[in-house]
Amino acid sequence: MSMEPLVTVILPTHNHAPFIAHAIESVLMQQTSYPFDILLHDDASTDGTADICRQYAAKYPEKITLIAQTVNQYTIDRRIQSHILIPRVKAKYTAILDGDDFWVDPLKLQRQLDYLESHPNCTLCIGAANLVDVKDRVIGRVAPYAESRIVDPADMIRGGGGFTATNTILMPTQLLKDLPKFADYIEAEDIPFQLLGALKGYAWYDAETLIAYRLTVPGSWSTRQYASSMETRIKTSRDIIALNEGYDEFSGGKYHDAFTEAIHYQEFLILCYRHKLREAMKPPYRMFYDRLSTNRKIRLRCEKYFPRLTARVVAAIRSYRSKRL
């Protein structure tokens, strides 16, 4: 009789045919003394991803459970992890991996599980990540600290969703099932997960590179957000503001200054989206403007005074870069 898994890896995917096998294999390669399984969710893909998922589920029936949707759920409820996958998880811990990303360390799960099992007050494990392109070439890195250490919640609050790569996460399943209601304010589920884990107990950061986060994948949340309309971006920032306000109250104001700064940053972004640069350069937003690169400052002014020309130039640059990948 097989042992019950200690951890379930939720693996949502949609139209990731070039990448999904790599993602699944990176989980299967994990060397652990603990049993684990995979909850694989295909959201009605149209590019052959579903067929690849079925092949893996058939090959590893004791390891992989496949949910193959025939109707795209993202168009109905965008919180697929929180509302569809996590409620089905029975394991003590949950790990997350998107279908276009992959783990690079075969001991990723083992080290994180060892830490969580020996530190019951820890409620979140994260780690460093490489940023890669569609050909797996490393083009950047997400590493908030140089060494392994306990995370300062204020750092995570100020860092927002960019503080760590979501696919490094391992945390108690029950915590994910008990997400505060205000977590539904935002489409991007990683920010509520990270903040809850850091605030409920504490978060542990592993300085080893655990995963590869793929950029410029067509249809990914970050790609959609980058190409979205001004009003969509403004809504996202407002949602993040509401989320930060909720977590500020949730934490009893302990990190009020950090949450206030995170809220001011989103307000700064809204001013930039609306081309109100004069206001964006005044307190309390000036520090965010000063952190921008020279190129970004130039682009903001071009978008304000030459919006159509700037849009055409940016589109041409994106097209050129995509053809080179």
Q: What is the pLDDT of residues 257-273, one digit of tens each?
A: 999 999 999 999 999 99
Average pLDDT over residues 74-93: 92
What residues are paired with 202 via a beta bridge? 122
Instruction: Give CA–CA dist 166/189, Å, rounded.
Output: 9
Residue type, 113: L
Separation between Cα atoms, residue 59 and residue 290, nearest integer Å: 54
Predicted local confidence at residue 221, as pLDDT = 46
**Does any domain span residue 52?**
yes
- In the predicted structure, residue 50 carries a pLDDT above the cut 70: yes
Let me know whether 31 and 110 are in one domain: yes
- Please tell me the number of Cα atoms within 13 Å of 165 on its side-chain side: 27
120 belongs to a structural domain: yes
Count H helices, E strands: the chain? 14, 10
pLDDT surpasses 60 at 323: no
* Residue 1 in domain: no
Q: State residue 295's pLDDT score.
A: 92
Which of 163, 180, 214 is the C-terminal boundary of a domain? 214
Predicted TM-score (pTM) of the model is 0.89
DSSP β-bridge partners for residue 42: 13, 68
Residues 16 and 122 in one domain: yes
Residue 294 host element (H or E) = helix 294-305
Together in a domain, 132 and 278? no
Distance CA 170, CA 176 (A): 11
Residues 176 and 45 in one domain: yes
Q: At a CB cut-off of 8 Å and minimum separation 6, what does 83 contact?
A: 77
State residue 217's pLDDT score.
Answer: 66
Exposure string of 40-67, with b = 16+ CB inside 10 Å and e = fewer, is: bbbbbbeeebbebbeebbeeeeebbebb
Q: Where are the beta strands (DSSP E) in the chain?
A: 7-13, 36-42, 64-68, 93-96, 102-103, 122-132, 138-142, 149-150, 170-172, 202-214
If we measure between CA atoms, which residue out of 113, 227, 215, 107 comes closest to residue 162? 215
Query: What is the distance between the alpha carbons of residues 288 and 279, in angstroms, rounded to a whole number?
Result: 12
The average confidence (pLDDT) of the chain is 91
Quick one: pLDDT at residue 1? 41
Indicate the helix (H) or strand (E) that contains 116: helix 108-118
Structural domains counted in the chain = 2
